[in-house]
Amino acid sequence: MLTRNHLFTGAAALVALSLGGPAGAQEPIKIGELNSYKVFSAFLEPYKKGWEMAVEEINASGGVLGRKIEIVSRDDNGNPGDAVRAAEELLSSQKVAFLIGTFPSNVGLAVADFAKQRKTLFIAAEPLTDKIVWEAGNAYTFRLRTSTYMQTAMLIADAVKLNKKRWAIVYPNYEYGQSATAAFKKLLSAKQPGVEFVTEQAPPLGKIDAGAVAQALADAKPEAIFSSLFGADLAKFVREGQQRGVFKGVEVFNLLAGEPEYLDPLKEEAPEGWYVTGYPWSEIKTPEHAKFLAAYQAKYKDYPRLGSVVGYSTVMSAVAAIKKTGSLDQYKLITAMSGLQHMTPFGNVTYRALDHQSTMGAYVGRIAVKDGKGYMKDWRFVDGKDALPSDEEVRKMRPAN
Amino acid sequence: MSLPSILIQLLNGLASASSLFLVSAGLSLIFGVTRIVNFAHGSLYMLGLYGAYSLIEALGRTPLGFWSAVILAALVVGLVGVAIEVLVLRRIYRAPELFQLLATFAVVLVIKDVALFAWGPEDLVGPRAPGFGSVEILGKRIPAYDLLLIAIGPVVLGVMRLLLKRTRWGALVRAATQDREMVGALGVDQARLFTSVFFVGAVLAGLGGALQIPREPANLDLDLAVIADAFVVTVVGGLGSLGGAFLAAILIALAKAFCIGIGTVHLFGTEIVFSKLTLVVEFVIMGVVLVLRPYGLRGKKPATPRTSGEIAPALTSPRWQVAACWMVLFLVVPLLGDRYVVVLLTDIACFALFAASLHFIMGPAGMVSFGHAAYFGLGAYAAALLFKRAGLPMEAALLLAPFCAGLFAVVYGWFCVRLSGVYLAMLTLAFAQISWSIVFQWDSFTDGSNGIVGIWPSAWLSDKSVYYYMTLALCGIGIVFLWRVLFSPFGYVLRAGRDSPLRAEALGIDVRSFQWAAFVLAGMLAGLAGAAFAFSKGSISPSSVSIGQSTDGLVMVLLGGVETLTGPVVGAALFTWLRDELARDTQSWRAVLGLVILLIVLLFPQGLVGGLKALIGRWREARA
Amino acid sequence: MSAVLQVEGLHKDFGGVRAVVDVSFAVDAGELLALIGPNGAGKSTCFNMLNGQLAPDSGIARLGGRDILGMSPRAIWKLGVGRTFQITATFASLSVRENVQMALYSHAGKLGSLLQRFGAAFTVEADALLDQVGMLEQATRLCGVLAYGDLKRVELAMALANQPRLLLMDEPTAGMAPRERVALMELVARLARARQIAVLFTEHDMDVVFSQADRIVVLDRGRLIAGGKPDEVKANVNVRDVYLGGMA
């Protein structure tokens, strides 16, 4: 009795499905981008502005290989399953040349494996996990951003200099926090034998019970704290810790806390004296950054966040690869990516042939407060290539392919 | 832990319990009177924080400004609650049970994007409460504001109790909580009562949020973070019991504080990291409480076990001509469409079986599961682990995975079928969350939060179309099998057990055993769907076991219509396709998806397929 | 005639309130025994102990040599007991025929099948039972839409599907029109006699009780105060005082 209606709706849906991707003109070079825009919007909105600006610049200067570029962007919902489907859609329906993007580790790893399966270049913009270039590395995946290991290694020099014996650790309970903690313990123990890790707290991401955690850390009487918290967890931890006097006489190291995404919301409560990695955007005077900053502020009437730099640089990497290759052949693209050098707002970066990690560096410094706002003082730029383990160690971790 | 540390962690726990109690009290109140599981309650809490932040900025960081902002924010959130009730829920009170859940789910999506649009993506850290510094207790400093929060919980509990005991409104609320039909019989304006209850419930959620502004930044993840906790507290306390909610909030907050306080302990040579338990401790508590006390700590057995006044319509099997047409379409499309259509259809096939298996226990058997992702995800993980760790061929892993998922269903189901209604649903959620946290944290075995990558199908299946046909065949057989079972004596027993457990028992039918078997069957087929899904993606991560996945399943079933057979399948297809289509506009897809669902909810209160059937029925009558 | 159900010394307290005190009676095959008494006399408590809903404090209820007290409703059904409820309990989303089929399937122990079609078996038997209770014309209607009196008939058919030795009927005619009541109980009486079924029922309608019951036992405040043939009970002074007098 429902035959006709069923058929009709079904047919309509299926037609709509097959028309989903217009097999349009091949004029611009399409690059597929996917990210968890709704799940990690604090970082990814500036990121999106970054890549949009890059696309505009490239196209204004005539594009690449005489063609304009176009980014086809998808939201992966922070979910590897959705991400792989979106990636498939980008490749099959949108006919993009290759893939860029992703934020959380699990999505990055899933898409990296998908890229390997589809023999397609994938430039992982954001995911910090070390595995994406090491244990789970593959021929088709390259990663731009300074990884967990690198950022941790950048802070080690300062940590060793302080020569504190008793360390407490707090990290969000998932890949990034776990690997940051593991890297920190390994690196510090190697440089400073006899160091003691007195307590470890692993609150669930986004759901820290900050008062209890701060108290538990204080109870262990540490001389220093290593934290990889960020976002709302960081803000809660800072406030509770300060109100409870947890940070008095204790040195604190915190990955990422100097990034404007996470530092600026703290405003006047930004914890002074903390050792952090971050992005002191207003004080970087290199010509490449000055140019980027001016363009960004002119376009958006807002200052860039670290995400903006990452988004901008990812597209620049993609374009540099196409330029070097002179075609869109996957094999040639990944060959070009190995050892590819190009300019970013953070200076020259190289995608190492060894493990496909870029040498993008990061800024290390200490948090200070001025005019009711946190900023990074005494900062220095650490080149990524100086924060990586020896080639031999990397070879041991990375499967041959 | 030293004595002072214990005391301080006690205070920490009590302070955290306060807001949790306020939110849960509102949720409990709303559920008690309207029987609506208000999924948007966490969103109201989130709005409370955002509202308080903005109002404090506007009114100034003075004590007066702060407290007026907190109160105003709570009241404004109360009005949002009223708006939700009047604009959306009032229109669908007569819909089948739980359908309102779908509406509130859509509201969550909309509010989230509205908040993103209004307040931006960055976390907003509110000011400290003016006039509240730190106090020193036994040589340790804690925020004075925490002590105030500790006091607010019991005060609100007292005020609510007075309201319920001493006012006519309170008497009506209590009467409605005990017996919803009675209120209608008393000649009370039900619409006004419901609206007022929504207002009070939302004010409590808003107040709970606003009071948190000195303790946590307003951010976009709060809604879902809080709603799960609030559900747990409400159920552990016993639905409709404010005192129970208070007790449960304290129990759970203290458990968390002490897990953190105890930290890492070495017991018999093994290291136990208690602080990692905070991920799951509330669900463990809920599981234990529900197993020991099926109606929560302070809840009472509902007076009438009847679920709703409306009877479920009879199931009709799809006509074979219709089914054949669909089958041909599904077979032909890959030949016409591009590779991506095939990929999307593969997803749809997996989710259709997932939704059909959920519908199997939820519709005909009357056992709503909030944790069906457990079997989908565990099936996926079983497939991945059998393939990667045990080194089985992909085909064997795929076919064995459902049995692994089924094993879990055997254990979980045994406990779950001993409960009914929302309690049953929440116990399924508890098991799902416990499974999730094990998968999420057992790095050496499941690769933890990263998930397992590199699980691709065998060479002969590596072509997407071939894999699609295989998935279509497996899932199709699964769905047809479930449908077939529903028309067998076994399936009739499930419906009989749902309609009248009393009568079924009096006919010598062991309803529980049948329900248990149904649970296992549904778990196995969900596991099959998960395994097929895993190999189609090449990777699997803990999100496949998460609350989000369970919610997706519920949304699919409700969207299509819980009282029809084809509903869940259509719902799965529609939801998957909609999300895929809408997510291409990365800017506002969530709100649009929410609005589309709301539209469907309001136009088709029996779900899409149910609604279409009714429409066609009416059209035929008009013609005849 | 030997008693099908023999109840001795049935006793139940509810937190100090003595709901049923030392009640004994017997029902013979083919006999209709009415259990009557004013509200709160303990009829329902008695019934619920006999049908397995409630555990007694003490007492014995022998059915075919086995004590059924404390058994689950399921086990009691398997011993050949059919029940109708005070507030009807049927499967609302199933048709009348399917309700009866369900009882037949259960009686035959064939509910476990996963692939057989439910409608493929016991239709003839179900229709025969429905014919007996006068519900055959409505066989395809859903129980959820039936009138109350019709539901009572369906319940009776379901109870008969068990080929019961004993029928427990709690207020079988409540909610029916007076003429329907007598008709239904006449039907029960006819069937009981034809099939030698023992029937124990409670009833408010005294016309029904005195016209249809073979014997009557009267409860008051948990105690058995009288018993015997309708005429004897009618003549009993005690009964008049506590019960009939109040109603007259």
Structure tokens at C214: 């073979």
Does residue A6 belong to any structural domain of this protein?
no
Task: Report yes or no on chains B and C touching (3+ CB pairs under 8 A).
Answer: yes
Q: In angstroms, what separates the C-alpha of B258 from chain A's closest C-alpha?
A: 8
Are C144 and B306 in contact, with CB atoms under 8 Å apart? Answer: no
Neighbouring CB atoms inside 10 A of C16's CB total 5
Class of domain C3-91+149-247: alpha beta
pLDDT tens, residue by residue, B233-245: 998 998 888 899 9
pLDDT tens, residue by residue, A366-377: 999 999 899 999
Average pLDDT over residues B330-340: 82
Neighbouring CB atoms inside 10 A of B548's CB total 15
Question: pLDDT at residue A22 above 70?
Answer: no
Selecting from C85, C98, C114 the residue whose C-beta is nearest the C-beta of B490 gives C114
Structure tokens at B97: 């049970």
Does residue B319 belong to any structural domain of this protein?
no
Contacts of B168 (CB under 8 A, 6+ apart): none
Q: Are residues B504 and B418 in the same domain?
A: yes
Q: Are residues A260 and A381 in the same domain?
A: yes
Selecting from B314, B502, B514 the residue whose C-beta is nearest the C-beta of C93 gives B314
Are C203 and C170 in contact, with CB atoms under 8 Å apart? Answer: no
Residues facing A220 on adjacent strands = none
Q: In angstroms, what separates the C-alpha of C235 from chain B's closest C-alpha?
A: 37
Q: Are residues A61 and A139 in the same domain?
A: yes
pLDDT tens, residue by residue, C96-114: 999 999 999 999 888 888 8
Does residue A162 belong to any structural domain of this protein?
yes
Q: Are residues A66 and A101 in the same domain?
A: yes
Selecting from A1, A75, A79 the residue whose C-beta is nearest the C-beta of B586 gives A75
- How far, rounded to the nearest angstrom, does the alpha carbon of residue B580 sit from its chain's CA centroid? 22
Distance CA(B539)–CA(B501), nearest Å, equals 43
Contacts of A147 (CB under 8 A, 6+ apart): A128, A129, A130, A133, A357
CB-based contact A173 B276, cutoff 8 Å = yes
Instruction: For Cα atoms B295, B249, A234, give the angle at the middle one, nearest 5 degrees.
Output: 140
Question: What sign does the dihedral A272-A278-A281-A283 (CA atoms) show?
Answer: positive
Q: Are residues A370 and A243 in the same domain?
A: yes
Q: Are residues B400 and B546 in the same domain?
A: yes
Q: How confident is the model at residue A19 (pLDDT cuts 50, 70, 90)?
A: very low
Q: Are residues B348 and B202 in the same domain?
A: no
Are B223 and A179 in contact, with CB atoms under 8 Å apart? Answer: no
Residue C247 has a pLDDT of: 47
Edge-first strand order for the sheet with C17-28 is: C17-28, C3-14, C58-63, C66-67
Average pLDDT over residues C120-144: 91
Helices B41-59 and B222-237: crossing angle in degrees, nearest 10, is 120
Average pLDDT over residues B297-323: 66
Q: Are residues A328 and A182 in the same domain?
A: no
Average pLDDT over residues C129-156: 89
State the count of interchain CB pairs (< 8 A) between A and B: 276
Q: Coil, strand, or helix at residue A48?
A: helix
Q: Helix/strand/coil (H, E, C) string of B530-554?
A: HHHHHHHHCEECHHHHCHHHHHHHH
Distance CA(C217)–CA(C215), nearest Å, equals 7
Does residue A274 belong to any structural domain of this protein?
yes
pLDDT tens, residue by residue, A200-228: 999 988 889 999 999 999 999 999 999 99
Does residue A11 belong to any structural domain of this protein?
no
Mark out the alpha helices in B96-214 (DSSP H runs).
Answer: 99-119, 144-166, 168-178, 180-185, 190-210
Distance CA(C82)–CA(C87), nearest Å, equals 15
Are A189 and A217 in contact, with CB atoms under 8 Å apart? Answer: no
Q: From B465, B478, B595, select the one nearest B530 (Cα to Cα).
A: B478
Q: Are residues A386 and A322 in the same domain?
A: no
Check CB contact of B624 with chain C, cutoff 8 Å: no
Provide, as residue numbers in chain A, all residues whose Cβ is less than 8 Å from the Cβ of B451. 80, 106, 109-110
Q: In angstroms, what separates the C-alpha of B491 from chain C's closest C-alpha?
A: 7
Q: How confident is the model at residue B180 (pLDDT cuts 50, 70, 90)?
A: low
Average pLDDT over residues A283-303: 94
The separation between the first and the last C-alpha atoms of chain B, rounded to the nearest angstrom, is 79
List subunits contacting chain B, requiring 3 or more Cβ pairs under 8 Å.
A, C
pLDDT tens, residue by residue, C208-219: 888 888 999 988
Q: Helix/strand/coil (H, E, C) string of B334-361?
A: HHHCCHHHHHHHHHHHHHHHHHHHHHHH
Structure tokens at B70: 């907190």
Residue A2 has a pLDDT of: 41
Check CB contact of A92 with chain B, cutoff 8 Å: yes
Q: Which residue has the higher pLDDT, B304 or B104?
A: B104
Provide, as residue numbers in chain B, all residues whose Cβ is less than 8 Å from the Cβ of A85. 343-344, 347, 537, 580
Structure tokens at A158: 């300062």
Residue B86 has a pLDDT of: 92
CATH code, domain carrying A133:
3.40.50.2300
Domain ranges in chain C are 3-91+149-247
Q: Coil, strand, or helix at residue B38?
A: coil
CB-based contact A201 B275, cutoff 8 Å = yes
Between strands C3-14 and C58-63, the pairing is antiparallel
CB-based contact B343 A20, cutoff 8 Å = no
Provide, as residue numbers in chain B, all residues whose Cβ is less than 8 Å from the Cβ of A200. 263-264, 273, 275
Selecting from B216, B533, B541 the residue whose C-beta is nearest the C-beta of A236 gives B216
Q: Are residues A259 and A303 in the same domain?
A: no
Q: Coil, strand, or helix at residue B310?
A: coil
Question: pLDDT at residue B313 above 70?
Answer: no
Q: What is the dihedral of CA B109, B110, B111, B114, to 10 degrees?
A: 130
Q: Are residues A154 and A143 in the same domain?
A: no
Average pLDDT over residues B384-390: 92
Question: pLDDT at residue B304 above 60?
Answer: no
Q: B127-130: which pairs have CB atoms within 8 A and are 24 or more residues apart?
A: B127/B56, B127/B61, B127/B66, B127/B213, B127/B214, B128/A239, B128/A243, B128/B214, B129/B66, B129/B214, B130/B61, B130/B62, B130/B63, B130/B65, B130/B66
Instruction: For Cα atoms B278, B280, B284, give the angle at the middle one, nearest 5 degrees.
Output: 120
Q: Are residues A253 and A292 in the same domain?
A: no
CB-based contact C118 B499, cutoff 8 Å = no
Residues facing A370 on adjacent strands = A373
Does residue B321 belong to any structural domain of this protein?
no
Percent of chain B with pLDDT over 90: 44
CB-based contact B314 C118, cutoff 8 Å = no
Q: Are residues B360 and B427 in the same domain?
A: yes
Contacts of A3 (CB under 8 A, 6+ apart): B319, B321, B322, B325
Provide, as residue numbers in chain A, all residues whose Cβ is less than 8 Å from the Cβ of B134. 243-245
CB-based contact B495 C91, cutoff 8 Å = yes
- The H or E element spanning position A213 is helix A210-219
Question: Radius of gyration over alpha carbons of chain A, in Å?
Answer: 22
Residue B76 has a pLDDT of: 97
Q: Are residues A260 and A376 in the same domain?
A: yes
Does residue A19 belong to any structural domain of this protein?
no
Average pLDDT over chain A, rounded to whole? 89
Does residue A103 belong to any structural domain of this protein?
yes
Question: In sequence order, what E strands does A99-250 have?
Answer: 99-101, 122-124, 141-143, 166-170, 196-201, 224-227
CB-based contact B12 A209, cutoff 8 Å = yes
Number of folded domains in chain A? 2
State the count of interchain CB pairs (< 8 A) between B and C: 101
Check CB contact of A265 with chain B, cutoff 8 Å: yes
pLDDT tens, residue by residue, B106-131: 999 999 999 999 998 888 999 988 88
Selecting from B340, B448, B574 the residue whose C-beta is nearest the C-beta of A93 gives B340
Average pLDDT over residues B345-358: 94
Selecting from B112, B143, B539 the residue whose C-beta is nearest the C-beta of A80 gives B539
Evaluate whether ipTM surpasses 0.85. Answer: yes
Are B311 and C92 in contact, with CB atoms under 8 Å apart? Answer: yes
Structure tokens at A203: 């609150």
Contacts of B328 (CB under 8 A, 6+ apart): none
DSSP assignment letter at A249: T
Q: In angstroms, what separates the C-alpha of B514 from chain C's closest C-alpha?
A: 8
Selecting from C89, C103, C112 the residue whose C-beta is nearest the C-beta of B500 gives C89
Average pLDDT over residues A332-352: 93
Does residue B223 belong to any structural domain of this protein?
yes
Q: Are residues A248 and A372 in the same domain?
A: yes
Chosen for mutation from A75, A175, A205, A264 (greatest number of chain B CBs closer than 10 Å) is: A75
Q: How confident is the model at residue B580 (pLDDT cuts 50, 70, 90)?
A: confident
Are B51 and B81 in contact, with CB atoms under 8 Å apart? Answer: no
Residue B347 has a pLDDT of: 92
Mark out the alpha helices in A20-147 (DSSP H runs).
Answer: 41-60, 80-92, 105-118
Number of folded domains in chain B? 2
Does residue A355 belong to any structural domain of this protein?
yes
Instruction: For Cα atoms B167, B170, B175, give the angle at the middle one, nearest 5 degrees.
Output: 130
Contacts of A309 (CB under 8 A, 6+ apart): A50, A279, A292, A344, A345, A346
Check CB contact of A182 with chain B, cutoff 8 Å: no
Residue of chain B whose alpha carbon sits nearest to that of A219: B5
Question: pLDDT at residue A17 above 80?
Answer: no
Residue B77 has a pLDDT of: 97
Provide, as residue numbers in chain A, all residues whose Cβ is less than 8 Å from the Cβ of B13. 212
Residue of chain A whose alpha carbon sits nearest to that of B262: A216
Average pLDDT over residues B610-619: 82
Q: Are residues B269 and B414 in the same domain?
A: no
- Neighbour-count burial for A154-178, b at 16+ CB within 10 Å, e otherwise: bbbbebeeeebebbbbbbbbbbbbb
Residue A144 has a pLDDT of: 94
Q: Are residues B243 and B364 in the same domain?
A: no
Provide, as residue numbers in chain A, all residues whose Cβ is less than 8 Å from the Cβ of B278. 203-204, 207, 209
Check CB contact of A62 with chain B, cutoff 8 Å: no
Q: Are residues B178 and B257 in the same domain?
A: yes
Q: How confident is the model at residue B306 (pLDDT cuts 50, 70, 90)?
A: very low
Provide, as residue numbers in chain B, all residues whose Cβ is less than 8 Å from the Cβ of C106. 507-509
Contacts of C164 (CB under 8 A, 6+ apart): C80, C81, C82, C197
Does residue A3 belong to any structural domain of this protein?
no
CB-based contact A2 B613, cutoff 8 Å = yes
Domain with B161 in it: 32-120+154-292
Q: In angstroms, what separates the C-alpha of B312 from chain C's closest C-alpha?
A: 6
Chosen for mutation from A185, A215, A233, A401 (greatest number of chain B CBs closer than 10 Å) is: A215
**B157 φ, ψ (degrees, to nearest 5):** -55, -45
Selecting from A74, A92, A207 the residue whose C-beta is nearest the C-beta of B225 gives A207
pLDDT tens, residue by residue, B209-224: 999 999 999 999 899 8
Contacts of A209 (CB under 8 A, 6+ apart): A203, B12, B16, B256, B257, B260, B278
Question: pLDDT at residue B105 above 70?
Answer: yes
Provide, as residue numbers in chain B, all residues whose Cβ is less than 8 Å from the Cβ of A42. 121-123, 219
pLDDT tens, residue by residue, C10-35: 888 887 778 888 888 889 988 999 99
Check CB contact of B510 with chain C, cutoff 8 Å: yes
Residue B310 has a pLDDT of: 55
Does residue B299 belong to any structural domain of this protein?
no
Check CB contact of B487 with chain C, cutoff 8 Å: yes
**In this predicted structure, which of B500-504, C36-40, C162-166 has the lowest mean pLDDT?**
C36-40
Average pLDDT over residues B6-29: 91
Average pLDDT over residues B185-192: 75
Domain with A266 in it: 149-283+362-391
